Structure 1
């Protein structure tokens, strides 16, 4: 490898490592804060925060790698122009076209890693995230009924207090529950509790054996009921929160499908997800290529405007990929066209910008003065 290629690859690697580590730390900080907030409100378990953070980071790696490579190439080229190092390379007989080989030499392995992540690792990670959340949802409402603590559910209409189980096999020991209904105020005591899920998705806390005391506020009417098993519905699949959870599960299910299954399915939802997975490796190469002409700046001018334009172009690229994904899902765009249209357009823009940066302007002809 020549001195020029070694210098370019080394500097891009250094910049990419710094940008990647910075973006990853920022992402992890925001993610962990969000997950801890969900754990504090009881949406997820505290014991799954670390696992969810790891799997969520794997799903975010394609975007982080693409942005890191784009910024690394952009800053390397910009620095060479700012510090007049590019003039030395140009005087040595090199042009901006010679930068393509070392840049692509670094970008191709990154694109290969992104392809593995989007086609295989990310679907597996989404599946693990869905499994974590599903496991917690199956026991989330019961896990809120912690031994030795008063726990409120359903906006305070139900209050539970449970002791530690005394018999082997019981999930909870003696339980006291207060339930507020439109006409009755109920106090329920039971020797044990467990959770059961019906075929329609409704979940119940099953108490028993025990007693139920009903009081009608404002009247002397009292009812007493002894039971062997008593179920309290804690979540219905027709509730707004359950419907929203079902929508999230459906979206997560599509993202978790293996790539081979998406190819076999062939429906619009699968094709839109497949397009998104194929788009990111191509976007890595395109962004690295576009960064070359974008980084070619005038050393005498300020650099804020050039960096802003570069950031807007990269943001537009990513948004158009997501927009194409939505068009394929809605049937407005075919998969065969959507999978390459955005990339071809930006590749054409990059080629035009590179030609503009490298072309030599013809000298102007001076008009001969009349004698």
Structure 2
């Protein structure tokens, strides 16, 4: 590898690593905050936050890699122009088109990684995310209760609040529960609670000393019950059959379907998702190509306008891919046309801009002196 190619490849790698790590940290920060908020609201379990963050990051990696490569190529070319390094390469007999080979050496492996992620890893990750959420929904209401938090279940029909246990033998401390039934509104208060599993597998929530208040809405009827121990049978929803049904339901989600399954189904929705998975690896190569002429700037001019144009062009590219996916799903555009139309347009745009940057301009004729 020549000195020029090593220098370009090394700088693109360095810039891509910095941009990728920055984007990934920002993504993880926003994602973990959102997941912690869902855990605090009781929508997911606190013990699966890290797992969901890992799988969600896997699904975001194709877009992050595409953006990182685009910014890396753009900043590398722009820096060479700004610091007049490009003039040295031009004086050595190289042109802007000579950058294509080292850029492709870096872009092709990235495109292959993105293809592996979109075609295999991301669908599996989406399936794991859906299965995690289904497992949490299949859990009993008591297992969702966290000390110090109000938890709503069954669309607000049940509300639980529990304190931390004071007795080591208790699983929960003081418990308050509100249960809405067809005819009665029941409120339970107890000093402690434990879970007991019988030999036949039935599970019971055993409340310690407490009270039960039954109110019939719209009537003055009231019932009061004091108890030393009160057992409530818990319907277990975590049997293997339910988990298998949850897994099958998760696989039915369009993003979680394997790529071969999308090909076999052949409906409009499946083809639109297949188009999206095939589009991202191609977009990696096109964005790297487009970034090359976009980075060729005049060092005497400001840089904000060129970067803004490059960002808008990349955003337009991704939005057109999304638009094509929607058209394929709604059967406005056929899959055979939509899978390549946007990419060909931007490939032609990139080659046209590269030709414009590398073409030789005729020297201007000097004006003749007046007689």
| Other-structure match for 2:348 | 348
| Other-structure match for 1:133 | 133
Q: Given the superposition, is the C-alpha separation of residues 172 and 359 from structure 1 closer, same or farther in structure 2, using an over 3 Å criterion?
A: same
Deviation per residue, 1:288-319 (Å, 9 max, x gap):
00011000000110111000000000111111
Q: Note the C-alpha offset of 1:153.
A: 2.7
Q: Quick one: distance in 2 between partners of 1:313 and 1:179?
A: 56
| Other-structure match for 1:299 | 299
| Other-structure match for 2:359 | 359
Q: Quick one: distance in 1 between partners of 2:370 and 2:172?
A: 108
| Other-structure match for 2:238 | none
Name the Cα RMSD after superposition. 3.8
Equivalent residue runs for 1:2-21 within 5 Å: 2-21=2-21
Equivalent residue runs for 1:204-243 within 5 Å: 214-216=214-216, 220-222=220-222
Q: Structure 1 length normalisation: TM-score? A: 0.80
| Other-structure match for 2:54 | 54
Q: Return 152-161 or 300-309, whichever deviates more.
A: 152-161
Q: Note the C-alpha offset of 1:228.
A: 9.7
Q: Note the C-alpha offset of 1:142.
A: 3.3
| Other-structure match for 1:238 | none
* Contact 1:144 1:151 (C-alpha < 8 Å) held by counterparts: no
Equivalent residue runs for 1:78-157 within 5 Å: 78-139=78-139, 141-146=141-146, 151=150, 153=152
Deviation per residue, 1:51-77 (Å, 9 max, x gap):
011111111110011011111111111
Q: Given the superposition, is the C-alpha separation of residues 175 and 82 from structure 1 closer, same or farther in structure 2, using an over 3 Å criterion?
A: closer
Q: Quick one: distance in 1 between partners of 2:151 and 2:4?
A: 67
* Contact 1:151 1:159 (C-alpha < 8 Å) held by counterparts: yes
Q: Structure 2 length normalisation: TM-score? A: 0.80
SS in 1 for 2:179: strand
Q: Note the C-alpha offset of 1:137.
A: 1.3
Q: Quick one: distance in 2 between partners of 1:30 and 1:140?
A: 30
* Contact 2:268 2:331 (C-alpha < 8 Å) held by counterparts: yes
Q: Given the superposition, is the C-alpha separation of residues 100 and 252 from structure 1 closer, same or farther in structure 2, using an over 3 Å criterion?
A: farther
Q: Quick one: distance in 2 between partners of 1:304 and 1:161?
A: 54
Q: Quick one: distance in 2 between partners of 1:310 and 1:173?
A: 59
SS in 2 for 1:345: helix
Q: Note the C-alpha offset of 1:219.
A: 5.2
- What is the number of equivalent residue pairs in this alignment? 341
Q: Quick one: distance in 2 between partners of 1:355 and 1:329?
A: 36
* Contact 2:213 2:222 (C-alpha < 8 Å) held by counterparts: yes
Q: Given the superposition, is the C-alpha separation of residues 224 and 230 from structure 1 closer, same or farther in structure 2, using an over 3 Å criterion?
A: farther
Gaps of 5+ in 1: 165-170, 195-204, 233-245
Q: Given the superposition, is the C-alpha separation of residues 208 and 330 from structure 1 closer, same or farther in structure 2, using an over 3 Å criterion?
A: farther
Gaps of 5+ in 2: 166-170, 197-202, 236-245
Q: Quick one: distance in 1 between partners of 2:302 and 2:149?
A: 62
SS in 2 for 1:214: strand
Q: Quick one: distance in 2 between partners of 1:33 and 1:161?
A: 23
